[in-house]
Structure 1
Amino acid sequence: MTKRSYSSMEQQSMDRNAVGLATWRSALIFIVTGVGLYFYFESEKKKVKERKAAELANVKTGRPKVGGPFTLTDQDGKEFTEQDLLGKWSLIYFGFTNCPDICPDELDKMGAVVDLIEKKHGADVVIPVFVSVDPARDSVSQVKKYLSEFHPKMIGLTGPYDAVKKMCKVYRVYFSTPAEVKPGEDYLVDHSIYFYLMDPKGEFVDAFGKANTAKEVKAKFDKAVEAWKAEE
C-alpha cells in the first residue's frame, strides 16, 4: 500500500466521520427545536385558555342585574313564573298588542331568531316570550289572538298592573301610559324597545334593539352557548 493510497482512504474515513457528526448535529437540533416548539405551543394554548377564562369572568362580573321573580298569566290562562324559564335559553320582549309598528317588527325579528337558533342547535332550545306592558287592554284572550300572527312557540304574558310593573322593575324595563285616559279611548304606551337574551339559569346575557338584525342576535347567541359549554 502506497503512502498516497493510504492518505486517500484516511481522507474518506474522515469525510464519513464528518458526515456522521453533521447528521447527529442535525438530529440534535431537530429534536431540541421540536421540544422547544412543543413547549411554546403548550404555553400559548395555556395563555389562550387563561385569557378566555378571564374574559368569561369579566363578562359575568360585569353583567347588569336583570331578571328576577315574577308571576303572570300566559295566553292559555295558566300561571307563568320565572321558574318556567329555567333550563332553557329565553328571549323576552316587552310591548303591547295595540302597538302599530315597532312591536310587530321586533316580534317578527324575534321569531326569525328562534328559527335560526333551532336550525343550528335543535328544537326547544330557546323560549320566545312577549310580555304586555298594557294590562288594561291586553287580556289573556287579546294576547292569545295577537300572538297567533307571530311565531307558534311564542309565549304571551299579561296580568294585573302591579304584577306587570313588578316584572318590568326586575327586568329594568320602562313603560308609561298617558295620564287621564278615558275608558275606550285609544292611546299608545311608551316603553323600552329591545328584547333580552337570558341563559338557562335565568341570568342576563345581552339585550338587542332595533338596530340588531336577526343574524346578529343569532351570532351573539352562538357565542353565549359556546361560553356556557366551556364553563360546564
Structure 2
Amino acid sequence: MTFRPFLLALPLLLAGCGQQAASPSEAPLAGARIGGPFTLVNQDGRQVSDRDFDGRYRLMYFGYTYCPDVCPVDLQRLMAGYKLLEGSDPAIAAKIAPIFVSVDPERDTPPVLKQYVSAFSPKLIGLTGSPEQIAKVAKEYAIVYSKEQQPGATDYLMNHSRVAYLFGPKGDPIALIPQDGTPEAIAAELKRWVR
C-alpha cells in the first residue's frame, strides 16, 4: 500500500493549527474539529450509531480488510496494547470501545468484517456502511482515502490516512494513539487519557 506523506500528517496539521503545544495534562486534540455523529453497520449486521458508544472512550482506526500489510500490523499492535491494559488495569480497559471503520465498503461486508476483527480481539468492533456513509464519516474524522486500481486489473488497493484516534465518552477528540508503537507504549498512552 502506498501512502502520501501529506495524508499521514493531516490529523496533526488539523490539530495543531494556531495552537501552542498542549501541556502534559491537556489533551493534545482538545478542541480539534475531528469526529461527529455516524450511523453504520457492525460486523453482526446490526445498525450502530455514535450514540451507542456514549459514556465509553473510543479507540478508532480506519482501514480495510484487504490491506496487505499496514492495517493488520497496526491493528495487531493496537489490540496487543489494549490487551496489556486489560491485564494490568481491567477497569480502565472496560471503558474503551476499540473500533475499526472500513474505508472499503464495496468489499468489507459485515461477514467479511466479522472474520477480520475476530482475528485481532473479541472486543474489536468492525463498522462498515454504504459508500456515501463511509465518505461522510471519513470527512468528519479527517480521514482521506482513495481507490487505487491498475488499468485492466480486477483487484485494487485503498490509499488512506493512517491514524488511530482516542475519543472521550462524549465523542470529543483526545489524542492520537501511536499505532506504530510497542504494545507497552500503546497501553501507557491509553492509560494516560482514560479516566
Task: Determine the structure 2 residue equivalent to 1:196.
Answer: 165
Pick from 101, 126, 139: which aligns with 2:69?
A: 101
Cα deviation per residue 1:17-66 (whole Å; 9 max; x = unaligned)?
A: xxxxxxxxxxxxxxxxxxxxxxxxxxxxxxxxxxxxx9488547854221
Q: Whose Rg is larger?
A: 1
| Bigger share in helix | 1
Q: Is there any run of 5+ residues in structure 2 with no aligned partner, and where?
A: 1-21
Q: CA 1:181–1:201 in 2, change beyond 3 Å: closer, same or farther?
A: farther
Give the RMSD, CA atoms, in angstroms: 2.4
Q: SS of the counterpart of 1:169?
A: helix
Structure 1 residue 145: deviation in Å?
Answer: 1.7
**Corresponding position of 1:9:** none
**Counterpart of 1:185 in structure 2: which amino acid?**
T
Residue 131 of structure 2: aligned partner = 161
TM superposition shift of 1:118:
1.6
Counting only pairs closer than 5 Å after superposition, residues 20-99 of structure 1 correspond to structure 2 as 55=23, 59=27, 62-99=30-67
Partner of 2:100: 130
Give the equivalent residue in structure 2 for 1:45.
Answer: none
Percent identical across equivalent pairs?
A: 37
Question: Do the aligned partners of residues 134 and 68 (structure 1) sit closer, same or farther apart at CA in structure 2, a change above 3 Å counting?
Answer: same
Is 1:208 the equivalent of 2:177? yes
- Number of residue pairs matched? 172
Aligned mates of 2:31, 2:81 — CA distance in 1? 22
Residues 88-97 or 209-218, more deviating: 209-218
The answer on whether the counterparts of 2:166 and 2:174 sit within 8 Å (CA) in structure 1 is yes
State how far apart, in whole Å, the 2-side matches of 1:61 and 1:148 are: 30
Contact 1:193-1:209 at 8 Å conserved across structures:
no
Q: Using CA pairs under 8 Å that are at least 6 residues apart, name the structure with larger relative contact order, 1 or 2.
A: 2
Aligned partner letter, 1:169: K
